[in-house]
Amino acid sequence: MFDKLETVVNRYEQIGIELTRPQVVSDNEQFKKLMKEHSELTPIVEKYREYTAAKAAEAEALEILSDAGFDKELRELAEEQLKEAKADIAAFSDELKILLLPKDPNDDKNVIVEIRGGAGGEEAALFAGSLYRMYTMYAESRRWNIEVVNANETELGGYKEISFMIEGSGAYSRLKYESGVHRVQRVPDTETQGRIHTSTVTVAVLPEAEDVELEINPADLKIDTFRSSGAGGQHINKTSSAIRVTHIPTGTVVECQDERSQYKNKDKALKILRSRLLDEARREHDAAIASDRKSQVGTGDRSERIRTYNYPQGRVTDHRIGLTLYKLEQILNGDLDEVIDSLTTHYRAKALEAEQE
């Protein structure tokens, strides 16, 4: 590990020198590439410097304790310093192991989120609306941009399905563990007996695919236009601006009707199609690898119930990590960091275990 760390530090310092060269500064593409790499290496280098400082403090304390010539007060201070240094060394070493794990290449990408009502009819559609609001409020708290791509709204204000893009630094790294089945337990407004109903909503979080990652043959696409439908608006049902794209080899269908422009809707639909196809290819690849492993870490299997939102108890439980928080209202208002941080820590630990096997 330490040989690798020395290589990282040397590369970090080399980049720092490169970034001062006029020819690099004037080359916008190369400058951006080096700045990105520098930024990614910074937390590793900073943590390694903390680690080496702790090792130096340990060595200093041991030197004092090994010399009988120092007075009692100084030796007591050295013992305390040694104790703190050993604790820091252990903590920094664990953190460095995690920082050196191979990075998910999608972590910095924008995401496409698709929410669909599952079992529970209108109640599921209403909760799909609650989850859409939760994710948009979380995105706003991080100053990410949100753009609705397609929405199929119900009469009571819920969503049979809604797809939207979130653009922002690290969006995928924060939201990638949200894929799966979300279960809600609450008493619907229409329930006269006060019984608790259980409904489900599926969430899919896809990293936005870049053109270079997946080539789509135009001959494999069937593109239809139709009139927009929805809750209203002057352009609704008056122009055929909505787009339906069908990928013939896989049967994947994407609709987009959020924009007035047919061209903008087509562009958005193709982005979603590309991301879905790439996600499917990745999942097939992961499944093939997983067949040779005992377990799969962080797959985001959408058939798995990942979280329950219990309204009567004000409780949210993430079943993957056994986390229960009695702060339902705050979480549904976009306060997701505690849940996301816990999931990230859990899956990093799993990845570290797999790396050491």
The model's pLDDT over 180-208, given as tens digits with 9 standing for 90+, comes to: 999 999 987 666 677 888 999 999 998 88
Residues 206 and 292 grouped into a single domain: yes
Question: What is the 8-class DSSP label of residue 176?
Answer: G
The whole-angstrom separation of Cα 190 and Cα 215 is 48
Is residue 202 domain-shared with residue 319, that is, in the same domain?
yes
The residue whose two tokens read 């290449």 is: 105
Dist CA 187 CA 181 (whole Å): 20
Measured N-to-C along each axis, helices 28-66 and 2-18 cross at an angle, to the nearest 10 degrees, of 130
Q: What are phi and psi of 32, to 5 degrees?
A: -65, -40
Q: Please list the residues that pair with 197 across neighbouring strands.
A: 186
Residues 75, 117, single domain; the answer is no
The distance between the two most distant Cα atoms of the chain, rounded to a whole number of Å, is: 93
Lowest mean pLDDT among 143-157, 226-240, 304-318: 226-240
* Lowest-confidence segment of 7-11, 290-294, 308-312 by average pLDDT: 290-294
Q: Are 94 and 117 contained in the same domain?
A: no
Residue reference for tokens 């010539």: 69
CA distance 109 to 115: 19
Residues in Cβ contact with 82 at an 8 Å cutoff, skipping those fewer than 6 apart: 58, 61, 62, 65
User: Domain for residue 181, yes or no?
Assistant: yes
Q: What CATH number is attached to the domain comprising 73?
A: 1.20.58
Residue 104 lies in a domain: no
- Residue 10: what residue type? N
Judge if 258 and 320 occupy the same domain.
yes
Distance CA 253, CA 250 (A): 9
Same domain, 56 and 124: no
pTM (global) more than 0.75: no
Which pLDDT score is estimated for 237? 45
Q: How many domains does the chain contain in total?
A: 2
Say whether pLDDT at 286 is over 90. Answer: no
Q: Is the pLDDT of residue 166 over 50?
A: yes
Residues 242, 352, single domain; the answer is yes
Which candidate, 4, 16, 12, places its Cα nearest to that of 46? 12
Write the pLDDT tens digit of every residue in 34-86: 998 898 899 899 999 999 999 999 999 999 998 878 888 899 999 999 999 99
Q: Say whether both 142 and 238 belong to one domain.
A: yes
d(CA 302, CA 178): 10
Query: Residue 294's CB: how many other CB atoms inside 10 A?
Result: 7
C-alpha span between 255 and 226 (Å, rounded):
10
The secondary structure of residue 232, as a DSSP letter, is -
Asked if the structure places residue 106 within a domain, the reply is no
Residues 166 and 67 in one domain: no
Q: Which of 75, 99, 123 is the last residue of a domain?
A: 99
| Cα dihedral 86/83/47/17 (nearest 10) | -100
User: Would you say residue 95 lies in a domain?
Assistant: yes
In angstroms, the CA 261 to CA 110 distance is: 23
Q: Which domain holds residue 69?
A: 2-99
**Which CATH number do you get for residue 183?**
3.30.70.1660
Instruction: Look at residue 211 in the predicted model and tell me its pLDDT.
Output: 52
- 270 domain residue, yes or no: yes
Instruction: Show which of 67, 99, 131 is a domain's final residue.
Output: 99
| In-domain check, residue 92 | yes
Band of the pLDDT at 288, cuts 50, 70, 90?
A: low
pLDDT beyond 70 at 214 = no
Strands (E) across the chain are located at 111-117, 145-153, 159-167, 180-186, 197-207, 221-226, 242-247, 252-256, 305-310, 315-318, 323-325
Confidence of residue 260 (pLDDT cuts 50, 70, 90): low
- The answer to whether residues 315 and 208 belong to one domain is yes
For residues 37 and 122, state if they share a domain: no
Q: Has residue 105 been placed in a domain?
A: no
- Are residues 351 and 233 part of one domain? yes
The amino acid that residue 58 corresponds to is E
- Say if residues 153 and 236 touch (Cβ distance below 8 Å): no
**Residue whose C-alpha is closest to residue 117's, from 159, 180, 165:** 159
11 occurs within a structural domain: yes
Point out the domain boundary residue: 44, 66, 99: 99
